[in-house]
Structure 1
Amino acid sequence: MTPREAAIKRGAPPHHWVDDAWLALRTEDVLDAQRPIVDPHHHIWDRPHSTYQLPELLADLNTGHAVRGTVFVECSSMYRAEGDPRFASVGEVEYINGVGAASASGRYGAVRACAGIVGKVDLTMGAFAREVLQACKDRAPERFKGIRHMVAWDASPEVSSLLKPPPPGLMPDPAFRQGFAQLAPLGLSFDAWCYHPQLPQLIDLVDAFPDTRVIVNHLGGRAALGPYAGRKDDVFREWKGTIDALAKRPNTFIKLGGIGMRLGGFDFHERDLPPTSAELAEAWGPYVQACIDAFGPARAMFESNFPVDKGCCSYRVLWNAFKRMAQGCSEAEKADLFAGTAIRAYGLPEALGRAG
């Protein structure tokens, strides 16, 4: 494969292809190496084009940063092949709970991978969703923290980056909302993955359920492809306005990451060399800072979104970039952004926020 062919493949939809040889061309020393990190967003899967299981995850977690724990977020993997199809997604929770148990044994070091689990339950089942949510809790009582039912939809095929995009209009749908209503009584959170034009719908959903903890993924899904390409300043104003409005809802949190996806419109994956952490901090900094300004460090958390964002940079470079972006924060604010907020949002053991 020629360098040009590799660059094209790295940028191919729906997600960046991980080019390990290309990533190896960029090395950096770890910044602020003793700072405890809880990574609140990564996946584990076994797909035809990509395998990212515990060994691959550990290889990234053990690249120099003091990662103390992680939260797994659903990716439609390891579903049950038999039984009532409404409970198929419980299989993913069962599987990841086993991964978490393996990590908790200490056999693989001090990090506690998958200390929290965000599963998938189809909320359009309405009130019956409670039965499936309870089944997930029963299978992983210590680790199951909430669900993500992806609602990210856009009319442009360039924007829609999911292998199986959801139908439009899920958040206002009565059946979806009936399912959503089952979360708070069970003490469960909702991870919201939508594109930025959908944020007004998310605000309406949050207002309808003020007792449900909502964790917004990937900077609120700022899109820079398709109809949003070439409109950087306008899109920023539109996106920031809804981010500021959403942040006024006290039951919301936001994840600072997922920026390496092609959705963000950056061209790092097309370059001959992977980006440095300084380059990433300069390019991504305005968006991250806008979210921190809106939500405050106590409701904002850095995330890796690996292996998806690994198409853009290595784990070491990514967290170096985050640390550069947080240089102007106080020690207490950094403690929140890198671990404390994730611990509170997901109800994780407080010990994960302390230096090992």
Structure 2
Amino acid sequence: MQIYKVGGAVRDRLLGIAVTDIDRVVVGATTEEMLAKGFRPVGADFPVFLHPKTGEEYALARTERKSGRGYGGFTFHASPDVTLEEDLIRRDLTINAMAEDDEQNLTDPYHGQRDLEARILRHVSPAFAEDPLRVLRVARFAARYAELGFTVAPETLELMRQLSESGELQTLTAERSWKEISRALMENQPQVFVEVLRACGALKVLMPEVDALFGVPQPAIHHPEIDTGAHTLSVLQQAAHYKQPLTVRWACLLHDLGKGLTPEEQWPRHIAHESKGLKLIKAVNERFKAPRDCQELALLVGEYHTHGHRALELKASTLLELLQSFDVYRRPQRFEEFIAACEMDARGRKGLEERSYPQADYLRGAATAARSVAVQPLLEQGFKGPELGEAIKRERLKALKAYKEASS
């Protein structure tokens, strides 16, 4: 029995990056031998075991054969005669197909170290094209390592293009897709994930609503970058720069989908794109079964982001409606995330990345003013039921009018 560290643990150590997850492969062992040593089985599809003391994962060396469509269409074979090289060749990228023993002796049959040094993401073998999930994985790795200068090898991008055109991407489950998308959005350069998907034709298959934004112009006076797709990528980049949470990044990706529906004869204006985009945002949310908080914020940002930009001009009654829409009294964090998404939208414009966004503090102040209205005095005055609701609304409106006057 021989045990090796494999995949990301080896890759990141060689890159000088902190190693967080360690995967191990066991060569020359049987399931019975692992169980005899106290390992606990956890793998449903192939033999994976948890170490009896550390709880870390150990997988028996295995080969795989394509037996059906999609991510799950594989037959696995694990036995003591499967070699380390045979196990490594089934992996996605050469930089993930290296192994090392406890003395850090490297096994690198597919030149992963060479590709690490050249900053290339390259597939290990033609079998790469058998697994559609790898399109998303490579795009995610491109986003993760873009800051280090990594790019996707042309021949790998071509295989990804073939996969995108084959119909295999449609076999991915919403859960698998969302796992990769959400992880990619939380990388330091999430816009690269979208760029790579677009370059290989996968964006058109997975998110045609986002793909449709590229080539759609916006008024140069407001958007010096002009192209709506380029703007979306810039907004996403700003969200990462300011370390926004997943909810905000998802909303940033989807906030302008309505502009993809504008007839060409109306370009570069996009009248009512906020409301028109809601059905598209809802469709993307449902397609990937995004978490509820991500879904809700994306819809609210899509509908109200221009309200955020015009906050200082809004009437007190419109401000109140905005605050009510977000339920700022019970869910203040959601409104804070809305403000963040609006600020990222404003900063995601060419040459305007450092411009101040006074709307943010103004909106926070408005929320504070509305929340400051005390309910107890109204109860003491005898208001109850619907009348109480109307009384609270009147007092909040009065507070917002006073706030506007004090701010002007």
**More helix, by proportion:** 2
Verify same fold: TM over 0.5: no
State the TM-score, normalized to the length of structure 1: 0.29
TM-score by length of 2: 0.26
Radius of gyration: which is bigger? Answer: 2
